Amino acid sequence: MILNPFWLFLIIGIALIATEVLVFQFTAFWLFFIGLGSLVAAGYAFLSADVTYTATLIVFLVASVAFTILFFAPIRRWQKKPSAMSGNNAVGQQVTIKESVGPSRRGTVSWSGSDWQAELAQGESATLSVGDAATVVSVEGIRLLIKPI
């Protein structure tokens, strides 16, 4: 049994878009563009009274190229845009002490819903107890350097 162009391009389009979203998580986008072109071809095949594989294939190719030309540059700019969690966005934020922190003692703080290792910033000498608040001065790897508020 040979699938008519509508079902063939519909299945291919759904499979390509699902693969891009679920497997590649929008890192490449090529499967997404081709999948959209395939869905347009399926729509053409569904709406056309006298559909052929050749005509549907041409619609698929033109639509895939058009989607690539229209959306590739804006999507690349979006991908390269810094994310909200970039670098040291913890700096200046308030944290809550979960395990006491002192001049010679590392502890744990709660920030952004997670527990982080913390130590006092250079020049700080106070001991912070559980429940105290502090401010993040800098981030070194996975450790927050803090100072009392």
Last residue of a domain, one of 33, 48, 80: 80
pLDDT in tens, 66-119: 999 999 888 888 777 655 444 557 888 899 999 999 988 999 999 888 889 999
pLDDT at 100: 92
Q: Tell me which residue of 13, 20, 21 sits closest to 40, measured CA to CA.
A: 13
Mean pLDDT of the chain: 89
Is 112 part of a structural domain of the chain? Answer: yes
Same domain flag for 18 and 63: yes
Structural domain total, the chain: 2
Whether pLDDT at 27 is above 70: yes
Same domain flag for 116 and 140: yes
Same domain flag for 69 and 38: yes
Do the Cβ atoms of 117 and 124 come closer than 8 Å? no
Is 87 part of a structural domain of the chain? Answer: no
Same domain flag for 106 and 70: no
pLDDT at 4: 92
φ, ψ for residue 103, nearest 5 deg: -55, -35
Give the whole-angstrom CA distance, residue 90 versus residue 100.
19
Is 144 part of a structural domain of the chain? Answer: yes
Is 114 part of a structural domain of the chain? Answer: yes
Same domain flag for 19 and 61: yes
pLDDT at 11: 97
Same domain flag for 75 and 20: yes
Is 85 part of a structural domain of the chain? Answer: no
Domain that holds residue 74: 5-80
Is 125 part of a structural domain of the chain? Answer: yes
- Percent of all residues in the chain with a pLDDT value above 70, rounded to a whole number: 94
Same domain flag for 14 and 57: yes
pLDDT at 139: 87
Same domain flag for 22 and 66: yes
Q: Using a cut of 0.85, tell me whether the model's pTM lies above it.
A: no
Last residue of a domain, one of 46, 80, 114: 80
Q: What is the mean pLDDT of residues 25-40?
A: 90
